[in-house]
Structure 1
Amino acid sequence: MPKRTALIMATLFAVNPALAADPHREHVHASPYAGEKSHEIKSLSQADVDELLRGGGWGLAKAAELNGMPGPSHVLDMASELSLSAEQVERTRKIRDAMRREAKTIGERFVAKEAALETRFRAGDIAEPELKTRVAEIESIRAELRTAHLSAHIEMTRVLSAEQVRRYATLRGYR
């Protein structure tokens, strides 16, 4: 071994003795999921379930939100800063309420399908064809849910002026 390489290795081992440890010793491979074993539905946290059942956004409208299409709930939260007219407030409430009703209904279906998948995995005998069918159903529902949220953002562009959209982006920290 060249002298320079030996010197570098000796320095590294002195700074971090773990580097010199037996490479064949047992390593710990703790999962980031370790604390989630108690979740009723392993693929969803309780916060996820709560968000889905109340018709919340669950981050599904980022494509719209981050590309200049405001969300109705946030618009209502900022009504005074955006100088919304009474008509705009009313139209925004209607969009938000319709979106939440639809998202709540779809979210309930989504959670139920995830719970059913969880039950099958707990049983330990789920087979590939059933798995594919169940996952396809869940993803189809997720697509409906995402569409419901994204559609509300698109509708909001018909309610707000260009200046209000710019102000929204500034208030949300996007500009």
Structure 2
Amino acid sequence: MTDDHAADSRATATERAFIVSSSHLASPGHEDLSEFEFALTVVNHAFQRWVVRGMAAAGLPDLSPLDALVLHSANHRHRQKSISDLMFTLNLSERHSLNYAMKKLDRLGLIARRRDGKEVFVGTTDKGRAVCEEYARIRRICLLELIPPDRSPGGSRIGDVAKALRVLTGFYEQASRSASSL
């Protein structure tokens, strides 16, 4: 083995390998974005699985992730929310998915809807609040116990990761608008 070949092998061995699911999307110079997208996909599925299993442990095994998120959002601060507020908060673009979730939650006696003129408001019932409290208890036991005391899994503070995700949301929203105008 020549000295040049050995140096090339060492350089290749020490370069950071990107973990991506679709190499054709790992554009040179932007491999980290493809790695982020793959991690986001994996964490999204894990989060949805946790929400479904957490709600099942709280006594509601038939809720979808969106059903659970709508319930928790409607319960937030124990104040009724308008449909537009729920859509905005959950970043939903299609009302029919929210309507479907609300019908299911209403049928289960977890939320109550009230009309005020043209606006519909949603809030949790006593049963809905109790389920949210039980989910929070299960979350403390099953999830929060796993979070390191320094709040920095993987070396990044959770709050900083959340801020970065909000910024990236804006990029993806703009890219969506751009793609729909092509």
Structure with more relative contact order (C-alpha pairs < 8 Å, separation 6 or more)? 1
Q: TM-score, normalised by structure 2?
A: 0.22
- State which structure, 1 or 2, has the greater radius of gyration over its C-alpha atoms: 1
Greater share of residues in strand: 2
